[in-house]
Structure 1
C-alpha cells in the first residue's frame, strides 16, 4: 500500500458524519429491533397477568427482556456493518477507508516491531523499508487525527531510521513497502 496525500478537512468532515450517523442509526435500529423482538417473542406480559390473578399465587421469578434487547443491538451492529461494508469503496469513504487500511497495516507492523527493529539494527534493508513506511504512515495518521501528543516521539524514531539508512548508503522510499515484507518476521 502506498501513502497518499489526504485532505484533512474533508477527512475530518466525512469521519464526523460517519460517526454521528453510525451512532444515530445504532440507537434507532437497536430500539426498533429490540421492540420488534419483544413484541414477537416476549412472555413477560403474560407472567405479569398471572401474578395479578391471585394474591396467594406462588411467586414467579420476573422474566426480563434483556436478551431481546441485546439481540436488537447485535442486529443493529450487523446492519450498520453491512451498510459500511457496501459503502467503503465509495467516493465519500475514500479518505476514511484509506486511513482504516493504513491503521490495519500499522497494527500488523506493531505486532512484529521488536523483531523488525532488531533486524534494522543489523542493517537489513527490508526491515528499514518497513520501519520507514511505519513511521511515515504514523506521522500522516497522527496529523490527520490531531494526535499531537506523541508526534515528537514518532518524528524522533523516523529520524533514527533515516540516519540508519544514510549510514548504510541506502535509498529508501515508502513506495518500496509491500505487506509481503512482513512475512519474514514471525
Structure 2
C-alpha cells in the first residue's frame, strides 16, 4: 500500500459524516427492529433483552454490509484509505519486536517495514492532529536512519511490500 497525501479537511468531513450516519442508523434500526419483534412476540416476563440484542446485531450487520458495498464510492475514498492504512500498520506493529531485532542486525526488509510504519504513523497522526508524539517519532526515525546508514540500506516507503512481513 502506497502512502499518499490526502485532503485532511475532506477526510475529516467524510469520516465525521460516516460515523454520525452509522450511529444514527444503529440507533434507529435497532430500535425499529427490536420494537417490531417485541410487538410480534411479546414476553410474559417483560424482559425483552434478547429482542433488543437481535435488533442491534441485525442493524450492525446491515451497516457493515452497506459500508462494504459502498467502500469503492468516491465519497469513501479517504475513509477507506485510512482504514486500510491502519490495518497495514497494525500488521507491522504485531511483528515490531522481531522487526526491530532483525533491523539491529541490518536486515533491509525489517528496516524498510519499520520505516514504512513510521511514515504511515506520521501521516495518520497529521490527519488526526495528534502532533504530541511527533517529536518521539522523529527521534525513532533518526535512530532508524542511523542504523540504515550503518548497514548502507536505502529506505523508501514506496518500496514497502506487505509480503516481507511473512519472514518475521
Shorter-normalised TM range:
over 0.9
Q: Secondary structure at the match of 1:169?
A: coil
Find the counterpart in structure 2 of residue 20 from structure 1.
20
Secondary structure, counterpart of 1:133 in structure 2: helix
Residue 23 of structure 2 is aligned to residue 40 of structure 1: no
Distance in 2, Cα, partners of 1:42 & 1:182: 53
Specify every segment of 5 or more residues in structure 2 that has no aligned partner in the other structure, as ranges.
none
Q: State the number of aligned residues.
A: 168
Aligned to 2:75: 92
The 5 A counterparts of 1:79-158 are 79-158=62-141
Report how far residue 129 of structure 1 moved: 0.5
Partner of 1:127, secondary structure, is helix
Cα offset, 1:117, TM superposition: 0.1
Give me the CA root mean square deviation. 1.0
SS at match of 2:154: coil
Structure 1 residue ranges (4+ consecutive) displaced by more than 4 angstroms after TM superposition: none
* Mapped contact 1:139–1:155 kept (Cα < 8 A): no
CA offset at residue 86 of structure 1? Answer: 0.6
TM-superposed deviation, 1:149: 2.5
User: 2:31 — aligned with what?
Assistant: 31
Higher CA-based Rg: 1
CA distance in 2 between counterparts of 1:168 and 1:94 reads 38
Q: Which runs of 5+ in 1 are unaligned?
A: 45-61
1:42 partner SS: coil
Of 146-155 and 135-144, the range deviating more from structure 2: 146-155
Give TM-score, length-normalised by structure 1. Answer: 0.87
State the alpha-carbon separation in 1 of the partners of residues 135 and 37 from structure 2. 52
Aligned to 1:57: none
